[in-house]
A = this chain, B = another copy of it.
Amino acid sequence: MSELKGACIIGQSGGPTSVINASAYGVIRTALDSDCITAVYGAANGIVGVLNDVLYDMSKEDPAELERMMYTPSSALGSCRYKIADPDVDDTDYKRILEIFKKYNVRYFFYNGGNDSMDTCNKISKYMMKVGYECRIMGVPKTIDNDLFGTDHCPGYASSAKYIATTCCEIYHDARVYDKGMITIIEIMGRHAGWLTAAASLASITGEAPDLIYLPERVFDMDQFIADVERIYKENGKVIVAVSEGIHDAEGNLIAETASGTTAARDSFGHAQLGGLASSLANIVKEKTGAKVRGIEFSLMQRCGAHIASQTDIDESFLAGKVAVESAINGITDKMVAFERVSQDPYRCETKLLDLSAVANYEKKVPDEWINEAGNGILQGYIDYALPLIQGETKMPKENGLPRFAKLKKIKAEV
């Protein structure tokens, strides 16, 4: 191990989660406590903050406020959805990043995000190696989507899963309160992978799960869907359905678009901005059945509901950030921190390190054997996998009956 003295940057990227700040705090706290990291900078809005030379000096923050990042949702340093170019096509951004790294003597770079962010992290890492700038670069995973390759699960997923399962338990009671028939359609996030929607099935351990669950891993057949709903409606007059926003037909057309007759807007990565599927499906089902139908979107609440976060997730997220820094200090670079389940009962996960190039841009789907044959339900294998992840109630501090989230001063770093 060669000791490398220098500053570090932590950046956050991609969509919010309840626990991404716990990971960032894991990085910041460990870095502040380390002898060889000479300064700890937070990039304003991820890599965009590096490009724009807007870095915050984390040593200027009140330690008590920093600690509150453990329980503060979304990205306290700000996030971005900036798609960095292929360096072989356009290396402008990379030259600029190198310039900033040199300016602040940055020798450690930690990037906290999902699939696209790991791709960015990987490209920067490879560029720095190519140009021979000594810098240790580590990915710290987060994504509610749980679609990162090579890790048992992703920090952020469990807290969203706990929100979704808890809310399904509650809606179960709400949606069957009347003496009249009622069909409820719940739309859950997840463009290509159905992990979040599958979490609705966790409510089955209390007997309160949706009757039907549709993931984007299977082709969505509208006629079959309507037949499924009608069958259960006839049986007991109450139906609860959970659908993933990313469900699509055999040709790959999004039902969110075909059912509403509109085309979704797209973000800078080309991802469709979905939403509205629940109400489109509700309209279709209403027309077919004549029943009272309500569409519900869990919307942003499923990703920022820190008050119902999993403490297991919070602790693991912190650990991921901490291990990233410790590993980098120990000479490791070009890796992402991942989790390996070493024991199922009792549940225990350990960290491991994966090559950034092995995780970037791959998407992990829900295994086929965890989805029932009809493609409208989730099997026990998933429950066994996910239930340990949602254990533990958040220790989020409250004041006046409301969350007390971190308030950072965000003082601009100076060289």
Instruction: Tell me which residues across on chain B come within 8 A of A392, comparing CB atoms.
Output: 401
| Most B C-beta atoms less than 10 A away, residue of A74, A171, A202, A401 | A401
CA distance A121 to B363 in the complex (A): 58
Contact pick for A205, options B45, B81, B400, CB 8 Å: B400
Known: A74-B174, A173-B304. 4 other contacts (CB 8 A): A16-B177, A73-B174, A301-B301, A390-B402
Q: What is the chain B residue whose CB lies nearest that of A52? A: B179
User: Do the beta carbons of B170 and A304 come within 8 Å of each other?
Assistant: yes
Contact of A306 with B by CB under 8 A: yes
Contact pick for A307, options B166, B208, B298, B310, CB 8 Å: B166
Contact of A271 with B by CB under 8 A: no
- Least Cβ distance of A117 to chain B in Å? 13
CA distance A258 to B92 in the complex (A): 50
User: Do the beta carbons of A307 and B177 come within 8 Å of each other?
Assistant: no
Contact of A175 with B by CB under 8 A: yes
Contact of A167 with B by CB under 8 A: yes
CA distance A173 to B304 in the complex (A): 8
With contacts A73-B173, A171-B304 known, is A203 near B402, CB below 8 A? Answer: yes
Contact pick for A166, options B45, B162, B176, B402, CB 8 Å: B402
Contact of A119 with B by CB under 8 A: no
User: Do the beta carbons of A206 and B170 come within 8 Å of each other?
Assistant: no
Contact of A391 with B by CB under 8 A: yes
Contact with B along A156-189 (1 / 0, CB 8 A): 0000001001110111011111111000100000
Contact of A303 with B by CB under 8 A: yes
Contact of A48 with B by CB under 8 A: yes
Contact with B along A280-310 (1 / 0, CB 8 A): 0000000000000010111111011111101
Q: What is the chain B residue whose CB lies nearest that of A174? A: B304
- Least Cβ distance of A352 to chain B in Å? 25
With contacts A179-B78, A300-B175 known, is A405 near B166, CB below 8 A? Answer: no
User: Do the beta carbons of B74 and A177 come within 8 Å of each other?
Assistant: yes
User: Do the beta carbons of B48 and A179 come within 8 Å of each other?
Assistant: yes
Q: A interface vs B, CB < 8 Å?
A: 15-16, 44-45, 48, 72-76, 78-81, 162, 165-167, 169-171, 173-180, 184, 202-203, 205-208, 275-276, 279, 294, 296-301, 303-308, 310, 387, 390-393, 398-405, 407
User: Do the beta carbons of B177 and A78 come within 8 Å of each other?
Assistant: yes
CA distance A179 to B51 in the complex (A): 13
User: Do the beta carbons of B169 and A405 come within 8 Å of each other?
Assistant: yes
User: Do the beta carbons of B402 and A170 come within 8 Å of each other?
Assistant: no
Instruction: Tell me which residues across on chain B come within 8 A of A45, comparing CB atoms.
Output: 178-179
CA distance A48 to B180 in the complex (A): 11
User: Do the beta carbons of B305 and A16 come within 8 Å of each other?
Assistant: no
A-B contact pairs, 9 of them (CB 8 A): A16-B174, A74-B170, A78-B178, A170-B300, A170-B307, A206-B399, A206-B402, A390-B401, A393-B401
User: Do the beta carbons of B300 and A174 come within 8 Å of each other?
Assistant: yes
Instruction: Tell me which residues across on chain B come within 8 A of A75, comparing CB atoms.
Output: 177
Instruction: Tell me which residues across on chain B come within 8 A of A174, comparing CB atoms.
Output: 16, 73-74, 300, 303-304
- Least Cβ distance of A182 to chain B in Å? 11
Q: What is the chain B residue whose CB lies nearest that of A46? A: B179
Q: What is the chain B residue whose CB lies nearest that of A297? A: B297
- Least Cβ distance of A329 to chain B in Å? 29
Q: What is the chain B residue whose CB lies nearest that of A310? A: B401
CA distance A185 to B174 in the complex (A): 24
